[in-house]
Amino acid sequence: MKKLILICVIILSCSWFAHAQKFKAHTVKQGETVESIANKYQVSVSDIYALNPDAKKKLTLNSVLIIPNAAAISSEAATETKELIGYTSHKVKRKETLYSISREYNIEIEDIKKHNKRLYSENLRKGDQIRIPKYKTVVSKVTPISALKTYKVQPKEGKWRVAYKFGITVAELEMLNPGMNEILQPGDEINVPNTTDEKVIDDNFNYYTVQKSEGYYRLKIKLGLTQEDLEKLNPELKIDGLKEGMVLKVPHNVTVGEVVGEVDKTNLAKNIRNFKTKQIAVMLPFRLSRVDTDSVQEAKDMIKNDSRLSVSLDFHSGVLMALDSAKRLGISTKLKVFDTEDQPAEISKILNNNDFSNYDAVIGPLLSNNFDRVARALEKDGVPVISPITIPEHLFGNVFQTIPERQRLENAIIQYVKNDALKVNVVIIADHSNRAISNRLKSEFPSAKQIFSRKDDKSGRDAYYIMATDLSGAFSNGKNYVFLETANEALVSNVTSMLNGLTNRNQDIILVSTNKTDAFEGANVSNYHLASLKFHYPSINKTLNSEQQNSFVKSYKGKYGIEPNKFAARGFDLTLDVLLRLASDDDLYKASTNAVETQYTENKFRYSKKLNGGYYNEAVYIVKYTSDLTIEEAKL
């Protein structure tokens, strides 16, 4: 009953969204009657009954009633309806007809037949005992309308597009269509509000879904748009205000889902409220069938030479440490580990032989092709599937992509330089294969000097070096940021050596890059030069400083006799984050709003949701080389 009324509330609120909130919802409290509720909202009892027929039978505590807004009701909209209040028994006399009886009781012949159904097929006879319905007239100013209509999905339309078109949230659209596919297909027929006031999707704009607890201040930080800016593009905000799940039109150049600036770190260990045992699955490519457990030396060699086995074992060791940490916080976990053998056939076997519908989360598989197979299979049950170390090819609605995308890393370092409160000078150096990112940096820093590596005079190919004359007049007194964009070791060595020779007490040169490629770790590149230039770059994780050991490092070393590598730390951080999120809310989806950023040993997580897809991690570190040749998180 409650669910039915709740659905009615949403249906009606969707249908009347564009009509200035003509209706509101009221939750029935102890001792309330229909009459007292009608007096409270200054409407008639019949107005409430017109929109809540079930309330005539029984008014249930905590049920939800649809209440018309008295100020929005027009007297011209008043209608009269008949309400059955009982029956009178009538014994048919000689020569009486349905017509004469209807005149005697002032009702319609059809009303007599409706309550004496045999009269549809039989004639009226003397002595028949029939029921005569008794009615009272109900005058109502509210006329229930057809709240829904059927809509055929058009090509390229996803949930958010349909929701935006009809002025509702994606959650409301999903509630109106319980059996709706996660990914809409052209021709699908779905329920939508019955309104002719449909919005048009303009491809010259971008669109953003409002997250939980987001206000105008948060959107200003996140999107760079003021309340006035948003209201100009979305006039309904002036009437209905900001609501979770609503889709907003934003300028095309706004990168939605990205937080510009700092987000307060959330300590989920202080928010634990869901102590239900968590059921977790981990899928890793151990390929144990290839390991001869009877030969210790052969097993050691396999672990040493098989990178996937080594990564899987390290990651799994971190998972086990996370379970121990969660247990100390009162979180119980039921873990099941699957060896995918790195084979599609084995993954199909795992999926066919196990019921994952009640799992709280599945971590893995590691590789994107195998991961996509699992995510697609579990999407129908809404089971969250977490990608540990790779970026999935498809961001299904149940996917959690934990590795930030390349674009996010670029944005992070660009914003870091922009946030420097000091007046800074920017220089951009790149090889010709990185011309695109160089041009993007130039658009972000219009006054920057743009330098490209020299080309061979004969072949015209990139020679991967610059000359001192190329840097003439490029630097000013004070702080200078130099972007170096290349995957070529020779150019890194050439530029870092040259920049070190130009550093003086008046000119502070800081080397940065949007992408720290392997070239920066080449044998011909001096770490001393990188440290001297305070090399800054974006990273998905920060390197663990062994001299500042935390409890995880200490416990891991005590258990395994060695310090954890990045895969062990990843397994620990990711698993503990999943367990803490599950313990802090009803499920992983509700616990992964964009306002929640967590940080652990080496990794941090802040998820945003794609408009018609899953969740992706946008938490990025900016790290730097220090004078003692260590790498630490950079702070302005």
pLDDT at 13: 39
Indicate the helix (H) or strand (E) that contains 439: helix 435-444
Query: CA–CA separation, 364 vs 390, rounded Å?
Result: 10
In tens, the pLDDT along 352-389 reads 999 999 999 999 899 888 999 999 999 989 999 999 99
Residue 46 DSSP code: H
Instruction: Sketch the domain layout of the chain as residue ranges.
Output: 2-77, 80-140, 146-198, 268-404+548-621, 409-538
Q: Is the peptide bond before 365 cis (omega within 30 degrees of 0)?
A: yes
Query: CA distances (Å), 414 to each of 245, 423, 514, 601, in order?
Result: 29, 15, 8, 25
pLDDT confidence band for 423 (50 / 70 / 90) = confident
80-140 and 268-404+548-621, same CATH topology? no
pLDDT at 337: 95
pLDDT at 3: 37
- Percentage of the chain beyond pLDDT 90 is 41
Rounded to the nearest 5 degrees, what angle is found at the Cα of 351, between the Cα atoms of 307 and 373?
Answer: 60
For the ranges 33-42, 58-67, 186-195, the lowest mean pLDDT is seen at: 58-67
In tens, the pLDDT along 490-545 reads 999 999 999 998 877 788 999 999 999 999 999 999 999 999 999 999 999 987 66
Query: CA–CA separation, 342 vs 385, rounded Å?
Result: 17
pLDDT at 546: 55
Third-level CATH fold of 146-198: Membrane-bound Lytic Murein Transglycosylase D; Chain A (3.10.350)
Rounded to the nearest 5 degrees, what angle is found at the Cα of 486, between the Cα atoms of 482 and 492?
Answer: 70
Query: CA–CA separation, 395 vs 616, rounded Å?
Result: 8
Query: CA–CA separation, 332 vs 583, rounded Å?
Result: 10
In tens, the pLDDT along 259-283 reads 444 455 678 888 888 989 999 999 9
pLDDT at 17: 38
pLDDT at 332: 94
pLDDT confidence band for 487 (50 / 70 / 90) = very high
Residue 254 DSSP code: -
- pLDDT at position 41 over 60: yes
Q: Which residue has the higher pLDDT, 80 or 444?
A: 444
Beta carbons of 427 and 484 less than 8 angstroms apart = no
Q: What average pLDDT does the structure give for the chain?
A: 83
Q: What is the pLDDT averaged over residues 390-401?
A: 93
- pLDDT at position 429 over 90: yes
Candidates 455, 464, 463; CA nearest to 517 is 464
Lookup: tokens for 59: 């008014």
pLDDT at 10: 38
pLDDT at 461: 94
Determine the residue type at 496. Answer: T
Q: pTM for this one?
A: 0.61
Cβ contacts of 587 within 8 Å, gap of 6 or more: 360, 384
Q: Which residue has the higher pLDDT, 259 or 177?
A: 177
Third-level CATH fold of 268-404+548-621: Rossmann fold (3.40.50)
Q: What is the pLDDT averaged over residues 81-92?
A: 84
Query: CA–CA separation, 290 vs 302, rounded Å?
Result: 9
Q: 2-77 maps to which CATH number?
A: 3.10.350.10
- pLDDT at position 144 over 70: no
CATH match for 80-140 among 1.10.287.1260, 3.40.120.10, 3.10.350.10, 3.40.640.10: 3.10.350.10
CATH class of 409-538: alpha beta
In tens, the pLDDT along 441-452 reads 999 999 999 999
378-417 b/e with 16+ CB inside 10 Å = b?
Answer: bbeeebbbbbbbbebeebbbbbbbbbbeeebbbbbbbbbb
pLDDT at 15: 39
pLDDT at 616: 94
Beta carbons of 177 and 191 less than 8 angstroms apart = yes
Query: CA–CA separation, 372 vs 279, rounded Å?
Result: 21
Helices (H), 234-306: 236-240, 296-305
- pLDDT at position 43 over 70: yes
pLDDT confidence band for 75 (50 / 70 / 90) = very low
pLDDT at 493: 95
Q: What is the pLDDT averaged over residues 400-408?
A: 93
